[in-house]
Amino acid sequence: MATGKGQLSTMHPVTGFKLGIASAGIKTPGRKDLLVMEIAEGSTAAGLFTQNAFCAAPVIVAKQHLASHTPKYLLVNTGNANAGTGEQGISDALQSCEALAAATSASKQQILPFSTGVIGEPLPMDRLLSGIPAAVAALSDNNWPDAAEAILTTDTRAKGASLQYNADSAAPDAGNITITGISKGSGMIKPNMATMLAYVATDAAVDAELLHRALRLANEKSFNRITVDSDTSTNDAVILVATGTSGVTIDEESFDQFVAQLKIIFIDLAQAIIRDGEGAGKFVSVIVDSAADTDEALAVAYTIAESPLVKTALAASDPNWGRILAAIGRAGVKNLDVNALQLHLNGVLIAENGAKASSYSEEAGQAAMQPEDIEIRVSLNRGQTTETVWTTDLTYEYVRINAEYRT
Count of residues touching its own copies (by CB under 8 A): 67
Work out how close the CB of 211 gets to its own copies at its nearest, in angstroms, rounded to a whole number: 27
DSSP codes joined into one string, 11-75: ----TTEEEEEE---SSSTTS--EEEEEE-TT-EEEEEE---SS--HHHHHHHHHHHHS--SEEE
CB nearer to its own copies: pick between 90 and 103: 90
| Selected binder of its own copies within 313, 376, 378, 389 (CB under 8 A) | 313
* List 195, 234, 243, 245, catalytic entry: 195
> What are phi and psi for residue 27, nearest 5 degrees?
-125, -50
Work out how close the CB of 247 gets to its own copies at its nearest, in angstroms, rounded to a whole number: 43
For 307, the enclosing helix (H) or strand (E) is: none
| Selected binder of its own copies within 242, 315, 369, 374 (CB under 8 A) | 315
Q: Does 361 bind its own copies (CB under 8 A)?
A: no
CA gap 111, 135 in Å, rounded = 14
Burial class (CB in 10 A: 0-12, 13-18, 19+), 12: middle
For 137, the enclosing helix (H) or strand (E) is: helix 125-137
Q: Does 316 bind its own copies (CB under 8 A)?
A: yes
Q: Does 210 bind its own copies (CB under 8 A)?
A: no
Instruction: Respond yes or no: is residue 195 known to be catalytic.
Output: yes
The 27-56 site mask, x for binding its own copies (CB under 8 A), equals ------------------------xxxxx-
Considering only the stretches 97-105, 169-177, 264-272, 319-327, report the one whose residues sit in contact with its own copies under the rule CB under 8 A.
319-327
Do 270 and 223 touch, CB atoms closer than 8 A? yes
Q: Does 320 bind its own copies (CB under 8 A)?
A: yes
Work out how close the CB of 328 gets to its own copies at its nearest, in angstroms, rounded to a whole number: 6
CA gap 181, 49 in Å, rounded = 17
CA gap 285, 173 in Å, rounded = 37
Question: By the criterion CB under 8 A, which residues form the site for its own copies?
Answer: 51-55, 81, 83-89, 118-120, 187-188, 190, 192, 229-234, 306-309, 312-313, 315-316, 318, 320-323, 325-331, 333, 336, 338-339, 351, 353-356, 394-396, 398-400, 402-407
